[in-house]
Chains A and B, each alone.
Chain A
Amino acid sequence: MKTTTRTAFAVLLGMGALSGAAQAEIRLGASVSATGPAAFLGDPEAKTIEMMVEEINAGGGIDGEEIVLTLYDDGGDPNKARTFATRLIEDDEVVAIIGGSTTGTTISILDMAEDEGIPFISLAGAISIVDPVREYVFKTPHTDRMACEKIFTDMKAQDITKIGMISGTDGFGASMQAECKEVAGDQGIEILADETYGPQDADMTPQLTRIRDTEGVQAVLNPGFGQGPAIVTRNYAQLGFEIPMYQSHGVASNAFIELTGKDAAEGIRLPGTALLIGDLLAEDDPQYKVVTEYTAAYQAKYNEEPSTFAGYAHDAVALLADAIARAGSTEPDAIRDALEETSGFVGTTGTYSFTPEDHLGLDLSAFRMLEIADGGWKQLD
């Protein structure tokens, strides 16, 4: 029985290899959370990946070879993500994987990618994905820790050293809360109040009142995404706070201003990427071209603005396409090596330079400190 299995396998594998060679195509795999609780991440990511693959193929592919995209929706479930990663590698025989909208789904996929030697670009925030560095795992979003550092730098510039935090208990909020608390000491920031709220909560007045009643708080920081931060900001305005409020890159979108209301959102500061302020960028800004072209294409196709998260997916596809072109090969190992040699690659999120010690390749300059003014965005630095 065992031998029969093996023979059947060998025959099938052989057939797979033959058909792959005959068609000369680049098999690209993706598993993102297009539905489910993380759909706000995965949906624009899926749209972006599909759009970019179409664009590349319309332009003649990479070195004349078309990209064949296999995209799965893992619904934000790490268990499903692992199954799809297995399927992409074993069944679809892809040469690279993009995906893992959340940290949980990313961790599920990266084991498989690492075991099978398939380059994998993650779209999730946690620093643990690239620290310690794994041979085949890269990521495009800046880490939550970098967002905290960017915010704290801006606070210190205004002599703010004592803050209150109010964080969502969802994956994004909880992860950033932990990272901010870790780096606060090094940055000379003292967290006097540390409150949390559930992602479905409809009123955060009690938590904010506690922060207001805490002696010495000079600013409030709210890591979170979705409707939570909008409610926090509205409650904050209702309570008549006089100290500044900082939000995270999780709400860096125009939808946040609409949800909060123009007046309540006025003066809120947050770290965002160039993608958000494409029309404010100077024409000689290195990111001007990539940001405006991508935004225009996305808007034309889907009739909505691309989010910061969509930008992560854009950069992942662009980095891979660039690496495959430079490798001149569709061997996973060759693609991985080329990817690691990426240097000074301009994306919508920032400028990437990978090294064997750094598989994120971004620094703090990728973030721009933004302030909401008159229902729009203003760049501070």
Chain B
Amino acid sequence: MTAARGKWLQLAVLAIVIAALPLIFPSGYYYRVGALIFVNALSVVGLVILIGLAGQISLGHAGFAGIGAYACALAPAHLGLHPGLALVLGAVVSGLLALLIGRPILRLKGYYLAVATLGFGILVSMVLTNERALTGGPDGMAVEDIGLRPLLRDLGWRISGGEFWYGISGIALLIGAWMALNLLDSPTGRAMRALHGSEVAASTVGIDVARQKLRAFVISAVYASVAGSLLALQNGFVTPDIAGFMHSIEMVTMAVLGGVGSVIGAVLGAAILTLLPQVLTVFAEYEQLVLGAVMIIVMIFMPQGLLPSIMRRIRGRGE
């Protein structure tokens, strides 16, 4: 009962924030930043399921984002597929690949997944960089427009590109968060959380440990893929940077910063790490320094991540 109420409360807060933020936007540029935050948050929500629920670490999630992004670039160009369907195709390919990689590895205990995904991410990025004839190499390639905005214009609703993608990414994030919160409360979610606590204990009560880990990994890969697709569609252009190792690290950092166990924390982590470089442009040289310092402080003083730590502090005072 309380869990269900908590779920709707979190979703309502998220929806209100997304809808109300444009009221204080001084220019169109803020729509762009907002859309970026939502897209990043979507992939981080996926990581919350993997890291926070199943207790596994992936250092190659940008690889899935890359697959999603390039699916939207390649499928329309080579297969004549609509970019919107290409997003689905990318998600399916990412899910299948995650299944293929995860199946043998997740039978092992420990952090083998981190090592395997590290290799996977680098592989994807190398293929995208070196298969010049197909992907355009390091220079990247153009992504077809999804064609929805002209459709809306014909229906008499004129909105700018920034506003459009703000809306689409916001809705995608809401759906993603809703599904993640549902999973959290489901038997599957409880099984995943059990194995995060203790794999031995979980297996003695009849949970198929490998199967649950694999499920979390595949789900999170699909999240990253969809986020990658949305980013590519929004930018109208994609380069191999999206599958780069630093992007993977950035995602994990966002998840850890916000609090790996919490969906709203994921959004918060993504928001902070997306906003920081924008706020720090005035002293760009110190950007990495501030970023590193923030991470260290959070890890030392709030090992649970920002949101859970703050919530505990507030609750503690209240009692």
Contact = CB atoms under 8 A, between A and B. Distances in A.
Contact of A1 (B23, B129, B161): B23
A358 interface: no
A289 to B, nearest CB: 34
A90 B140 contact: no
Interface in B12-61: 19, 22-30, 32-33, 36
Contacts of A143: none
A20 B263 CA distance: 43
A13 B191 CA distance: 53
Secondary structure of the B side of the interface? helix
A86 B132 contact: no
Nearest to A170: B138
B186 interface: no
Nearest to A107: B237
Interface string B108-132: 0000000000000000000001101
A83 B137 contact: no
B241 A78 contact: yes
Interface stretch (B86-94, B277-285, B296-304, B306-314): B277-285
A126 B139 contact: yes
Secondary structure of the A side of the interface? helix
Nearest to B239: A104
Contact of B29 (A76, A91, A107): A91
Nearest to A11: B26
Contact of B137 (A1, A72, A84, A174): A174
Contacts of B130: 169, 196
Interface residues of A, number: 39
A78 B130 CA distance: 18
B26 A91 contact: yes
B221 to A, nearest CB: 20
B137 A12 contact: no
A186 B248 CA distance: 43
A145 interface: no
A79 B242 contact: yes
Contacts of A126: 139
A156 interface: no
B241 A86 contact: no
B40 to A, nearest CB: 10
B227 to A, nearest CB: 12
A12 B231 CA distance: 29
A243 interface: no
A72 B281 contact: yes
Contact of A103 (B23, B26, B139, B231): B139
Contacts of A103: 138-140
A104 B138 contact: yes
Given A4-B23, A79-B242, A171-B138, 7 more contacts: A9-B25, A87-B32, A108-B235, A174-B132, A175-B139, A178-B137, A196-B130
